[in-house]
Amino acid sequence: MTLRTPLTELLGIEHPILSAPMAGVAGGALAGAVSQAGGLGLVGGGYIDPDWIEREWAALGNARAGIGFITWRLAEQPAVLEAALARRPAAMMLSFGDPAPYLGRIRDAGVLAICQVQTVADAKRAADAGAQIIVAQGADAGGHGASRGTFALVPAVVDAVPAVPVVAAGGVGDGRGLAAALSMGASGVLVGSRFYATSEAQARPEAKQRAVEASGDQTIQSSVYDRARGYAWPSAFRLRTLRNRFTERWHGREEAMLETLDEVLAGFGRAVETGDLDEAPVVVGEATDLIRDVPLAGDLVRRMVQEAEMALRHGVRCIEQEET
């Protein structure tokens, strides 16, 4: 059995698995490893640091990859779009903001345009504006997201944009999630949190270990880290991380936090530098329940595909039976 879908056909890949363009975490090593294993890795253009992007793109070597940007950030630095297109990525993904001003340029450059959306209405708007692949992201996701859960959003988006391959994101942590996404009519999955805890991801080893140990029960969607860092995120989006001392202290008390912002920022900076994860964020979503080790990214791709194939053939309980 091979999991061929409109997504694998369009992207020319073997497995319907994309690794998310995680800001500061998904560099060339991770994206390249996912692509070499038959998925497609996306480099995290994130908050846009041109030097970081150049270095990570070089780290890909000969591996194919895409790149993702935070749309409202791109609006502040449009030249970065041209530089990225000149590198001939396999695809460019835009999330969090209106993609319409950019889609024509991306398509004209011969690059596949992927839009990540959080509502059915935005899926329709993205399709009308020319998105060639739509990622339906549920609020279970690690990192920024909105409010709808993945399980109802994905089939609704599949129905709303029948001409466009839809990719499910948010809460996919193993082959059961991939099988479920395909069963809901999606053409594949985009996975962030699970790849955060792989050898190639640029997260601290201690942060990966926290992801291994944590339950999804311990995550929270909050604006405290964005407010503290002064990032102008549109109000629809909040950041899902593990709960820690920082979120416990400030979530719901953002105004009080802003009153002592200099102090908060200095403390935050120190925490990031020293790796104090009670204060600095561990950015994973509800799928952290399913993170039990820190494998090589390519092995994870192969494992997810095997599990999904087994789940689709026999039902998910067989995964556990065959493992024991």
Ligand X SMILES: Cc1cc2nc3c(=O)[nH]c(=O)nc-3n(C[C@H](O)[C@H](O)[C@H](O)COP(=O)(O)O)c2cc1C
Query: Binding residues for ligand X, per CB under 6 A?
Result: 20-23, 25, 44, 46, 68, 70, 95, 116, 137, 140-143, 169-172, 190-194, 196, 283-285, 287
Pull the structure tokens for residue 50: 């041109």
Q: Residue 68 pairs with which residues in a beta bridge?
A: 44, 93
Entry field: residues in the chain: 324
Q: Which is nearer to ligand X, 28 or 44 (CB)?
A: 44
Strand ranges in 107-227 using DSSP code E only, listed in sequence order: 112-117, 133-137, 143-145, 166-169, 188-191, 219-222
Q: Which is nearer to ligand X, 194 or 238 (CB)?
A: 194
Task: Provide the minimum distance between the beta carbon of 139 and ligand X in the complex, in angstroms, as a whole number.
Answer: 9
Task: Provide the minimum distance between the beta carbon of 194 and ligand X in the complex, in angstroms, as a whole number.
Answer: 6
* H or E element at residue 17: strand 17-19
Task: Provide the minimum distance between the beta carbon of 42 and ligand X in the complex, in angstroms, as a whole number.
Answer: 8
Task: Provide the minimum distance between the beta carbon of 146 and ligand X in the complex, in angstroms, as a whole number.
Answer: 11
Pull the structure tokens for residue 13: 């890949």
Q: Which is nearer to ligand X, 99 or 170 (CB)?
A: 170
Q: Which is nearer to ligand X, 32 or 44 (CB)?
A: 44
What residue is closest to ligand X based on CB? 192
Q: Which is nearer to ligand X, 25 or 106 (CB)?
A: 25
Q: Which is nearer to ligand X, 293 or 322 (CB)?
A: 293
8 A C-beta contact, residue 27 and residue 44: yes
Task: Provide the minimum distance between the beta carbon of 23 and ligand X in the complex, in angstroms, as a whole number.
Answer: 3
| CA atoms 309, 312, 313, 319: torsion sign | positive
* H or E element at residue 269: helix 261-274
Task: Provide the minimum distance between the beta carbon of 241 and ligand X in the complex, in angstroms, as a whole number.
Answer: 9
**Whose CA is closest to 150, among 174, 121, 180, 170?**
170
For helices 50-59 and 79-86, angle between their N-to-C axes, nearest 10 degrees = 10
Q: Which is nearer to ligand X, 127 or 169 (CB)?
A: 169
31 CB neighbour count, 10 Å cutoff: 36
Task: Provide the minimum distance between the beta carbon of 145 and ligand X in the complex, in angstroms, as a whole number.
Answer: 7
